Structure 1
Amino acid sequence: MTSPPNCYQLAILETSDLHCYIVPYDYYNDKKSEVFGLAKTATLIKKFQKIYKNNILVDNGDLIQGNALSDYVSRYKPLEKDKNHPIFKVMNYLNYDIATVGNHDFNYGLEFLKRVTNQAKFPYICSNIYLFDENKENNMGESLYPESYIIEKKFEDNASIKIGFIGVAPPQILIWDKHILDNKIIIKDIVESSKKQAIQLKKNGADLVIALAHSGILPLKYIKNTENAVYELTKIKQIDAVFSGHAHNIFPGGKVFQNLDKYKIDNTIGKINNIPVVMPGALGSHLGIIRFNLEKKKNVWKINQSFSEIHSVKDVEPDSKVISLVEEENKNVLNYIRSYVGKSNIHFYSWFSSLGNSYTSQFIQKTAIEFASNKFKNTKWENLPFLCSFAPLNTGTHGSSFINIPKGPLAIKDISNLYPYDNEIKVLLVNGEQIKDWLEFSAQTFNQINVTSSEEIFLLNPLFPTFNFDCIFGITYEIDLTKPLGNRILNIQFNKRKIKPKQLFGVVTNNYRAAGGGNFPNINKFKTILDSTELYRNILIEKVKNTKVIDFTLEENWKILPIITPNKQTVYFESSLDSIPYHPPFLVLHSKDESLKKAKYRIDVTKF
C-alpha cells in the first residue's frame, strides 16, 4: 500500500539488557534456551527491517556483562588488545545505528568499557555521565560519550528527517560500583539531563527526539536522582518517544503494568502520558519496536500516529550467521564452565528460598562467614560474632531463572549458577537495632496477609526484587506477615538469646549492598571493617576445591509464622514447573501453565 504524499513510516527497533547473551544457551544450566539470545532476536530484526524499510536499530545498555561468556572474555581469558568483543562482532554485523550504556556495563571498570565500545561501528551516547575532573566546577569534566546525536534519515523520495537521540543511565551506578568508579566519573539526574539535551537537540534542528533510557517505568513517584525515571521522561514535551530498559520487564503487556490507566499508562497500546514507550524484557527475549506514521507539512514534521509493540523470540530460529560469528568463543566458554571443581552430597535448589531456609543460601552464607572469620584472626575483631546477609538469587519467581543442581560432581557452571554476580565481599560493623531495620526493610518482599479479607493475593510483591530480600544467617528470627511493614520481624536471637539494640556484629555482605544498593536504610553509612576485593564466586570455588565432599545440615535460621486465626484470604505462590516434585507441605499445587512453564500453588498459611 502506497503512503499518501508527504506521509512516511519510520520504525525504531530496540534491544536492551542483552547481558552478552548471544547464543540461545543457558550456560549456568548447560542447556539450550527457547526464550532468549541475540541470535534469535537477530532473526526478528531482519524480519522487521524488511517489513519497515525506513528503520533504525538501537541498543539500550547492559550489554557486556551478565553471563559466562562476558566473564570469560573479561576476567578468565581477557580479550587480547586486537580482538573484538563477541557482542560487538555481532552488533557490527547487524548494523546497529546507535547505543547507550547501562549500569552493568561499568562492572568491569571504565577502561574495559571504553576499550570495547570503541570497537562499535556505530555511535555511543550518554547524556548524564561525565569524567571526574577535580579542576572543574562540581568536578564535572568531559562527557564520557557524546551527550546526544542526530541521525538524518532519508526516505524514498529524498525527503529527510533529523532524529535526535539522548541516552541516560541510573545515577546509582556510583553506588553499585563505587569501589571501581569513585573519582573517575560523576553522574547527573536522568530527568534534568534529558530535558536539557532534548531542548538542545530541538535547537539544533532535530525533528524528533528519542530517549534511550536505561531506566525502568516503576515506581511512578519521581525523586531527584531516582533510578527508574521513564514515567517522568514522558512528561518532557520535547521528547517524542522513550525506549526503556533496566527493569527486565516487557512493555506493553507486562503484568506489573496492569490496571494503571488512572496514571495514563496504557499497557495495551504502549503509551505513557500519551507518549510511546517500549521495554523489551532482557537477554534478547524480545524485540521492541515503536512505529511512527509521519507527515511533513511546510517543512515541519508531525507524528500522526505511533505504535509500540514487543515481539517474543520464542519459536524463532536463531540467525546462523550470528551463531557462526561467535562459534569459537562459545566453544571455549562451554569447555570452561564444564570443568570439574568438586563434589556435593546436597541437592541445591532455589525455588522456595524466599519462603524459608535453603541449602543454596546457607552454603553461600556459611562459606562467606568462614572466609571473613579467617581474615580477622589475630585482629581486634577476632572475637566479634559474624553473620552473613544474602538475598536468594534465581528463585524461579516472577518468571526468573532458578537453581537446580543435583547431588554429585560440581563444575564451574554450577558455582556460577549459585552466585552469578561479580560481587566482592565486604564486612560491615552493625548493631542489633540496625539488624532489625535491615530485616524489616527486606520483608517488603511479602504482601501483607489480611485475615479478614476474602481477596486473593500472591505472597510475593512483584514490585520488590527478590535480590533485595536479604536473609541474615547466624541469628534466628521470625516474620509475621499479618503485620504491616516495619513491624514484621520478631524474636531476633543470637545463640538462643535475644539480641540487644547496641550489641555489635560483623555482617558479611557484598559491595552492592555495602555501597547502598537497594536503598536499605543507612547501610552505606555503616563502618566497613573488611573491604575485600575477593569475589563471592571465587571463594565458593575455592571452598568446593578444598573440601572432599560438600555436605552439611540445614540450620534453623528464619521462618514465616503460621497464621492460626481463621483466615478468609487465599494466598498464592508461583514458581517453575520443575519445582513441583520438591514443594514443601504448606504449598498445595493449584494449577500448571505448560506454555509458560509455571506452577501456581495455594499456600496453607497455617502450616508455614
Structure 2
Amino acid sequence: MANAGEYPYNENKEVTAMEPYRIRIVYTTDIHGQLTPYNFAIRGRTSKGLSRLKTFLDQLEGDRITIDGGDILQGSPLIDLWISKNPRGICPVSAILNHLGYDYVNIGNHEYNYGREILEAYTSALEAKVICGNVYRNNVPDYPGYIVRTLPNGIRIGFVGAITQAVPGWEKPANIKGVTFEDAFVYLKRTVAELRDRVDCIVILYHGGIEKDIPTGLPIGPKTSENEGYKIAKHAGADVILTGHQHRNIIDRIDGKCIIQVTDQASAFALLELTFEREGSGWRFAGCDAEMRSLDIYASDVATEALVADLAAETDVVLDRVLMRLRGEGLVVTDAFSARRDNHPIFKLMNDAQLWRSGAMLSSASLPNEVPGLKSQVTMRDVAATFIYPNSLLILEIDGRRLKAALEKTAEYFALGPDRTIIINPSHFRPKIEHYNYDVFAGVAYTIDVSKPQGSRVSNIRYKRRSVKDDDVFTIALNNYRAGGGGQYEMFKDAKFLKEITSTTADIVVEYLVAHRDYQSRKTKYPIIVTSAPRD
C-alpha cells in the first residue's frame, strides 16, 4: 500500500520474559526555526534552542523514539537566508534533525510557506521518516500515512500522521498547487481502524490543536476545522495523541488516552514513557506516562551549533545592513496589546507601504503576536524580526457590506474589563494568543465603540469623507493569510481576486522605506476606540 511503511527497531537489548517493557518518546513541535539559542532579533543568546535537546538526548539511557510535530522551517532569518541562496547546500533544519537522530517528523502548515522546492529540499535531506497521510499531490499520497515500528521483543507500535486540513485557507495557492488535504479526523479514524489489529499501540502525530477545554469538554474559540485534537482523542481510536499548532504545554487524558502538546520555539519538549506488559504470547499496551521538560536547564551542544555557525555569521552580516533613519514618532513596539489599542504608528507604515505598492483604495495590516518594531536607525535585523511571515500581498475587490463585516470582526479583539477599561477579548488569548488577528485598516475612517455589543461596534465608516454604503465597491490590499479567510475573516474568502504581489511584507516595507527616505512616522487618526470607560 502506497501510504504505509514498516521499519524494524534495531536496538540490541534483551528483555526479561515477564517484566514490563518501557520505551520513551521524545517529542518536540513548532520549533519555528529556533535551531540554536541565538536570537537574531536581539543579537544574543536565549534559554531556547533545539541544540539544547542534543545534550539531553546524549544523557538519556534506554530505548527511545524521537519525533517532531511540524512547523520547523519558518521563523528564522537564518533559514530565510538559506532559502534566498536558491537554496545551496543541505537544508540547515535537516542537518540539525539528522544530527539529533530524529526518527519521525510530521509536516506543519508553515512548511508550505516557501513552495514545493524548499519543502522537498527539507524532506529529501532528512534521515527521519516523514509521516503525514492526509496530503495528496495530484491525488497521490505525498508521504507515508503510517509507519509500524517492530521492536526486537516483538512489540509493534503504529505511528499515524496528519496535518490540519485548514492549510488552503492560509497558504498561497502557488505553494500548494495540485495539493489537497483530506479531513484529518476522517483520515486518522480510518487509518487507525486499519492498523488496530496489527499493532499493540497506536500513536497519532497531528499537526493541529485542541478545540475544547479538556476537563469540561466545552468549546474553546470559534468552531472551525483548524483544530480537532479533542475529537481525534475521543473518537479516532488511538492510544496516544501528539498535537501542536497552538503553542501550548499540555499533558492530559481524554477518556484515558494520553494527549500531548508542546509550546513553540524549542523552549520545551515532552518526554513520554510507553509501558507494555506480557499477555499470553504477545504484548498489551499498559499505559503512557508523560512529563514536560524545559530546555533551559540543558546546555547547548557545541557540535550542533557548529553545523549552522557559518550561515549564522553570514545572516548577522546581512541583518546589520542599515536602511535609513526614521523621523517622527518611534516605531519600537513595547507591548502587543497597547500597540493595537493605541493604534501604533507601525500599522500606518505597513498600510502606507501596501497602498504604495498595490495601488489599491484600501489596505489592511496586522502584526505577529510579539515584535520589536523598528528603531530610529532601521536595519534589516529589525525588519526581519518584525515582519516574520513570508506572506504575499493580495488585492481583492470587496463591497461596503464586506468591509463593514471585516471591521466588526477586527473590533471583536477588544472587550471591557471588570473596571470597564479596555482589555483584550479572552477569545484572543485562549486557547492561544491571537494578537495577529487584529487588523488596522487604511484608506477608510471608522470608529470602534467597545461598550457596544459585538457586531454593532463600528460606526462612522467613511471613504473620502463620504459614508460607506453596502453596495460601494473598493479594492483592498491585504496579506494572503487574511485574504484566504485566516483568523475567521470569512468575508474575504470568496471576494473577487484581482492580483497577487508575491513580495513579502518585509520586502514591501523595505522597498517603501528606501523610496521614501524622508518618511515621517506618525499615528493615523483612525480607528478611534471610544467607550464610556476610562483606559488603564
Q: Same fold (TM over 0.5)?
A: yes
Aligned equivalent of 2:504: 535
For 1:550 and 1:426, the matched residues in 2 are separated by 24
CA gap 1:501/1:224 in 2 versus in 1, 3 angstroms: closer
Following TM superposition, by how much is the alpha carbon of 1:293 offset from its aligned partner in structure 2, in angstroms? 2.6
The 3-state SS of whatever aligns with 1:357 is: coil
Cα distance in structure 1, aligned partners of 2:452 and 2:223: 31
Q: Aligned partners of 1:476, 1:413: CA distance in 2, in Å? A: 33
In structure 2, runs of 5+ residues without a counterpart are: 1-14, 213-217
Aligned to 2:491: 522
- Give the drift of 1:529: 2.2
1:45 aligns to 2:57 (yes or no): yes
Q: Tell whether 2:262 aligns with 1:280.
A: yes
SS at match of 1:534: coil
Relative to structure 1, the CA distance from residue 457 to residue 551 in structure 2 (aligned partners, 3 Å threshold; closer, same or farther) is closer
Number of the residue aligned with 1:63: 72
Distance of 2:446 and 2:290 partners within structure 1: 47
Show structure 1 runs of 5+ residues with no match: 133-140, 253-269, 374-384, 395-400, 564-604
> Which residue of 1 is the match for residue 18 of structure 2?
5
In structure 2, the CA distance between the partners of 1:495 and 1:233, relative to structure 1 (3 Å rule), is same
- Give how far 1:493 is off: 2.3
Alpha carbons 2:91, 2:121 under 8 Å: kept? no
In the alignment, is residue 367 of structure 1 matched against residue 350 of structure 2?
no
In 1, Cα distance between the equivalents of 2:107 and 2:411?
32
Measure the CA separation in 2 of the matches of 1:442 and 1:69.
Answer: 33
Task: Give deviations 1:64-101, integer Å, cap 9, x for gaps.
Answer: 22210121111x21222xx2111111111111111110
Identity across the alignment (%): 23
Tell me: CA distance 1:490–1:172, structure 2 relative to 1, closer, same or farther (3 Å).
Answer: same
1:349 aligns with one of 312, 328, 332: 332
Cα deviation digits, residues 86-141 of structure 1 (max 9, x gap): 11111111111111101111111123212321111121111100112xxxxxxxx2
Paired residue for 1:413?
381
Contact 2:485 2:493 in 1 (8 A): yes
Following TM superposition, by how much is the alpha carbon of 1:456 offset from its aligned partner in structure 2, in angstroms? 12
RMSD: 2.5
Identify the residue that residue 239 of structure 1 maps to in structure 2.
238
Structure 1 residue aligned with 2:305: 323
> 1:229–1:494: structure 2 CA closer, same or farther, 3 Å change rule?
same
Deviation at residue 450 of structure 1 after TM alignment = 6.6
Give yes or no for the alignment of 1:296 onto 2:282.
Answer: no
Q: Is the 8 A contact 2:209 2:244 kept in 1?
A: yes
State the one-letter code of the partner of 1:103. Answer: N
Number of the residue aligned with 1:387: 362
- For residue 407 of structure 2, what is the aligned residue in structure 1? 439
Secondary structure of 1:45's counterpart equals helix
Q: Which residue of 2 aligns with 1:586?
A: none
Higher RCO, 1 vs 2 (CA within 8 Å, ≥6 residues apart): 2
- Match in the other structure for 1:148: 146
Give 1:370 deviation, angstroms.
Answer: 1.4
Quick one: which of 284, 304, 314 aligns to 1:332? 314
Q: Which deviations, in whole Å up to 9, do the C-alpha atoms of 1:35-69 show, x marking residues without a partner?
A: x211123333334x33xx12110011112222101
Residue in 2 aligned with 1:96?
A: 102
User: 2:202 — aligned with what?
Assistant: 209
Q: 1:522 to 1:78 in 2, by over 3 A?
A: same
Q: 1:493 aligns with which of 462, 479, 495?
A: 462
- The one-letter code of the counterpart of 2:70 is G
The match for 1:116 among 118, 122, 131 is: 122
Q: Write the deviation string for residues 267-301 of structure 1: whole angstroms up to 9, x where unpaired.
A: xxx22332111111111111112222321211343
The answer to whether the 8 Å contact 1:150/1:165 transfers is: yes
Q: How many angstroms apart in 2 are the aligned matches of 1:24 and 1:512?
A: 29
Tell me the CA shift for residue 434 of structure 1: 1.2
User: What amino acid is aligned across from residue 366 of structure 2 in structure 1?
Assistant: A
Q: For the residues of structure 1 that align with 2:348 and 2:161, how far apart are their CA atoms? A: 40
Name whichever of 9-18 and 437-446 sits farther off. 437-446
Q: Identify which of 34, 38, 54 aligns with 1:21.
A: 34
Distance change (3 Å), C-alpha of 1:341 and 1:299: farther
Say which SS state the counterpart of residue 346 (structure 2) adopts. Answer: helix
- Distance in structure 1 (CA, Å) of the matches to 2:270 and 2:447: 43
Per-residue deviation at 1:445?
A: 2.1
Structure 1 CA distance, aligned partners of 2:29 and 2:204? Answer: 13
Q: Evaluate the alpha carbon distance shift between residue 457 and residue 332 of structure 1 in structure 2; reply closer, same or farther with a 3 A threshold.
A: closer
Displacement of 1:558: 0.8
Contact 1:365 1:473 in 2 (8 A): yes
Distance 1:3 1:484, change over 3 A: farther
Q: Give TM-score, length-normalised by structure 2.
A: 0.89
**Runs of at least 4 residues off by over 4 Å:** 219-225, 448-452, 455-460
Distance in 2 of aligned mates of 1:224 and 1:432: 26
